[in-house]
Amino acid sequence: MTFYLGIDAGTQSLKAQLIEVDSGLVAAKASVNFGQDLPEYQSPHGFIENPDPVVRMADPCMWLDALDMLLRKLQESGAPMGEIAGISGSGQQHGSVYLNAGFAPALARLDAERTLSEQLKPTLSRRLSPIWMDHSTSQECAELTAEFGRRLQDDTGSPAVERFTGPQIHKFAGTEPKAYRETTVIHLVSSFLASVLAGKSMPIDYGDGAGMNLLNLHTLRWDADIVAFTAPGLAEKLPDAVPSHTVCGALSPYFAKYGLKPGTPLAVWSGDNPNSLGGTGAAETGMAVISLGTSDTYFGSMPEFRTDPAGCGHVFGNPAGGFMSLICFSNGSLAREEVKKQCGVGWTFFDRTAGELTPPGNNGKLMLPYFVPENVPPVLKPGVRYNFDPTTAKPEERVRCIFESQAVSMYLHSRWMGVDTRRIRITGGASASPVFRQILADVFQADVESIAVADSAALGAALRAANAVGKLDWATLYEKFCAAIETVKPIPANREIYRKLTEDYRKLEARI
Ligand code: XUL
């Protein structure tokens, strides 16, 4: 039996999945919820509450305590810790950790009698880490845009984006120059935790590195000019950038206390979205993933590097090679739940009955569902717009309207990838709705496949470990771990209805 471990450092929790590759089974799981299990960090949602909604910081010591706790829980669950052949991981993207000259020596002599946070806290040159929810860098984004213009997106895959790491570093260097000068290495959440496991600084992979506005995706190296403009001496503070299948470390003896074998090969960690692409079994071209959560994300592999002319989509490295796209719509479940509330209906009506009572296309009813500021397209001031009078519409019409509007918006805003999507893997809470699944299948004219996996980022990390360390190919891993459990087929007759609705949506959106 051969086991691989995947660890996912998400926004609200740290999760582990242990897979056994001969049987294709998930052998063990564990998780630590930051809010519930580590209340002393006062981060009920994974970050420290701040009255300013654009400021979102988290304590790296919380992630370290969670790592100790997670491995303890996994060991106590009876997992075969000593038989693990390789480890990799996944981190919430964009978040950054700032470390001083004490970091490398502290990692090299980790003492198993003491906790990780105790030993590494003094090595933080910035006590808190900005995470992906932080939007406090508009000024820095404007400065980067003024300097590099369109090149930023053409070469790094994204225009300057507030949550991306480059603008965050630019801000830190400008507002806290002393602390910045004391910083010797800047890690992403992924490479930080990978370094802790390895007992030495680990590189950043192309998947997560592309979320920094610093990696040139043509050369796959840090872009010297952008790096130099972002902050003085930054080139010396960045870890190397490497392909996602790189094995570049061996487990520190510190972790023997959890039954793990010191020296176990470690594959570079990646971001949660690239890991999820692998964990949902969708890293091949022609497949995409729709993840329906608080916000909805659409991501898929891309055979070649190309960028979104509208500047809303991002390009990251695909863990299976090549590139992947990502579009993140802020008004996901949030908007659906708001419509459900406004209509005063239950879940069965919302997810099922409403669809049976209304025809595909809903006689052209559309809405722009901006209950909160939207990323795609960028809309800073929330406000919902309709092309009909919602006060006289029936509840079932309003329910179909939100599903169809979200689906055609996803279709419209994913055209730039230039990929003919034949299969969509669907995950997240709203993927349980048969109505939404059929609408998505009809709008994209693609098979919509549900999968059994709940924690696709942790699974993706375990699969990457199996691929990098065990040299198992992706096709075999997908067959064993990511098979579809249910498929909704597109209805060809609905194709034209939705092409027309998409065009109407485009016009409605263009008016604002
Ligand atoms: C992607 C993004 C989020 C984070 C947290 O750009 O900001 O998906 O990776 O999950």
CA-proximal residue: ligand 1, atom 3 (nearest) = 93
How buried is 61 (Cβ within 10 angstroms: 0-12 exposed, 13-18 middle, 19+ buried)? buried
3-state helix, strand, coil in the chain (%, to 5): 40, 20, 35
Contact 442, 476 (CB under 8 A): no
CB of residue 328 inside a 6 A radius of ligand 1: yes
Higher pLDDT, residue 378 or 457: 457
Unique residue bearing structure tokens 């910083």: 183
CA of 327 to the centre of ligand 1 (A): 10
Distance CA 340, CA 329 (A): 19
Distance CA 58, CA 62 (A): 8
The two tokens of residue 389 are 């009078």
**Per-residue model confidence (pLDDT) at position 21:** 98
pLDDT tens digits for 64-86?
999 999 999 999 999 999 999 99
CB of residue 163 inside a 6 A radius of ligand 1: yes
Q: pLDDT band at residue 294, thresholds of 50, 70 and 90?
A: confident
With 80 as the cut, is the pLDDT of residue 402 above it?
yes
CA of 349 to the centre of ligand 1 (A): 31
Higher pLDDT, residue 295 or 159: 159
**Per-residue model confidence (pLDDT) at position 127:** 98
**Per-residue model confidence (pLDDT) at position 382:** 87
**Per-residue model confidence (pLDDT) at position 29:** 97
Mean pLDDT of 321-344: 94
Q: Given the CA of residue 93, which atom of ligand 1 is nearest to it?
A: 9
CA of 343 to the centre of ligand 1 (A): 31
Lowest mean pLDDT among 129-133, 255-259, 452-456, 466-470: 452-456
CA of 209 to the centre of ligand 1 (A): 13
Mean pLDDT of 40-52: 94
Mean pLDDT of 385-389: 97
> CA-CA distances (angstroms) from residue 509 to 200, 246, 298?
49, 43, 19
Which fold does the domain 282-452+482-512 belong to in CATH?
Nucleotidyltransferase; domain 5 (3.30.420)
Domain ranges in the chain with CATH number 3.30.420.40: 3-274, 282-452+482-512
Global pTM value: 0.92
**Per-residue model confidence (pLDDT) at position 54:** 87
Does a cis peptide bond (omega within 30 degrees of 0) precede residue 377?
yes
pLDDT tens digits for 105-119?
999 999 999 999 999
Q: For the CA atoms of 383, 388, 394, 397, what is the dihedral angle to 10 degrees?
A: -80
Sorted by sequence, the CB contacts under 8 Å of residue 310 that are 6+ apart come out as 377, 413, 416
Mean pLDDT of 244-256: 98
pLDDT tens digits for 299-321?
999 988 999 999 999 999 999 99
Sorted by sequence, the CB contacts under 8 Å of residue 85 that are 6+ apart come out as 2, 3, 4, 264, 265, 469, 470
Distance CA 100, CA 180 (A): 9
Q: Given the CA of residue 132, which atom of ligand 1 is nearest to it?
A: 7
With 80 as the cut, is the pLDDT of residue 380 above it?
no
Nearest 5 degrees, angle CA 186-CA 190-CA 191? 45
What string of DSSP letters covers 340-357?
HHHHT--HHIIIIIHHHT
Q: pLDDT band at residue 293, thresholds of 50, 70 and 90?
A: confident
Residue 448 in 3-state DSSP? strand
The two tokens of residue 317 are 């490295």
CA-proximal residue: ligand 1, atom 6 (nearest) = 93
Contact 53, 133 (CB under 8 A): no
CA of 51 to the centre of ligand 1 (A): 22
Mean pLDDT of 466-475: 97
CA of 96 to the centre of ligand 1 (A): 13
- What CATH number does the domain located at 3-274 have? 3.30.420.40
Which residues are 89's β-sheet partners? 7
CB of residue 273 inside a 6 A radius of ligand 1: yes
Mean pLDDT of 462-474: 97
CA of 92 to the centre of ligand 1 (A): 6
Which residues are 383's β-sheet partners? 370
Residue 142 in 3-state DSSP? helix
**Per-residue model confidence (pLDDT) at position 173:** 98
> Candidates 47, 90, 94: which one to mutate for ligand 1, based on the most atoms within 8 Å of Cβ?
94
The two tokens of residue 286 are 């022609």
CB of residue 272 inside a 6 A radius of ligand 1: yes
Q: pLDDT band at residue 53, thresholds of 50, 70 and 90?
A: confident
Contact 433, 356 (CB under 8 A): no
CA of 223 to the centre of ligand 1 (A): 22
> Candidates 93, 213, 297, 326: which one to mutate for ligand 1, based on the most atoms within 8 Å of Cβ?
93
Mean pLDDT of 365-380: 90
H or E element: which one contains 196? helix 189-198
The two tokens of residue 76 are 């106590």
Contact 330, 324 (CB under 8 A): no
Which residues are 292's β-sheet partners? 296
CA-proximal residue: ligand 1, atom 5 (nearest) = 92
Mean pLDDT of 167-184: 98
CB of residue 132 inside a 6 A radius of ligand 1: yes
Residue 191 in 3-state DSSP? helix
With 90 as the cut, is the pLDDT of residue 225 above it?
yes
CA of 295 to the centre of ligand 1 (A): 10
Residue 266 in 3-state DSSP? strand
Q: For the CA atoms of 457, 458, 462, 468, what is the dihedral angle to 10 degrees?
A: 40
CB of residue 468 inside a 6 A radius of ligand 1: no
CB of residue 94 inside a 6 A radius of ligand 1: yes
**Per-residue model confidence (pLDDT) at position 100:** 98
Mean pLDDT of 252-257: 98
Sorted by sequence, the CB contacts under 8 Å of residue 343 that are 6+ apart come out as 350, 395, 398, 399
CB of residue 15 inside a 6 A radius of ligand 1: no
With 80 as the cut, is the pLDDT of residue 433 above it?
yes
CB of residue 93 inside a 6 A radius of ligand 1: yes
pLDDT tens digits for 412-421?
999 999 888 9
Q: What is the biggest distance separating any 2 CA atoms in the chain, rounded to whole angstroms? A: 69
Unique residue bearing structure tokens 């996803």: 410
CB of residue 96 inside a 6 A radius of ligand 1: no
Mean pLDDT of 30-55: 95
> CA-CA distances (angstroms) from residue 4 to 7, 98, 419, 500?
10, 29, 32, 48
Residue 213 in 3-state DSSP? coil
What string of DSSP letters covers 279-302?
HTT--STTEEEEEESSSEEEEEEE
**Mean of all residue pLDDT scores within the chain:** 96
What string of DSSP letters covers 399-432?
HHHHHHHHHHHHHHHTGGG-----EEEEESGGGG
CA of 348 to the centre of ligand 1 (A): 30
Mean pLDDT of 334-363: 96
Q: pLDDT band at residue 373, thresholds of 50, 70 and 90?
A: confident
Percent of the chain at pLDDT exceeding 70: 100
Q: pLDDT band at residue 355, thresholds of 50, 70 and 90?
A: very high
Q: How many helices (H) and strands (E) are present in the chain, helices listed first? A: 21, 24
CB of residue 56 inside a 6 A radius of ligand 1: no
CB of residue 92 inside a 6 A radius of ligand 1: yes
Distance CA 332, CA 402 (A): 10
Q: pLDDT band at residue 190, thresholds of 50, 70 and 90?
A: very high
CA of 132 to the centre of ligand 1 (A): 6
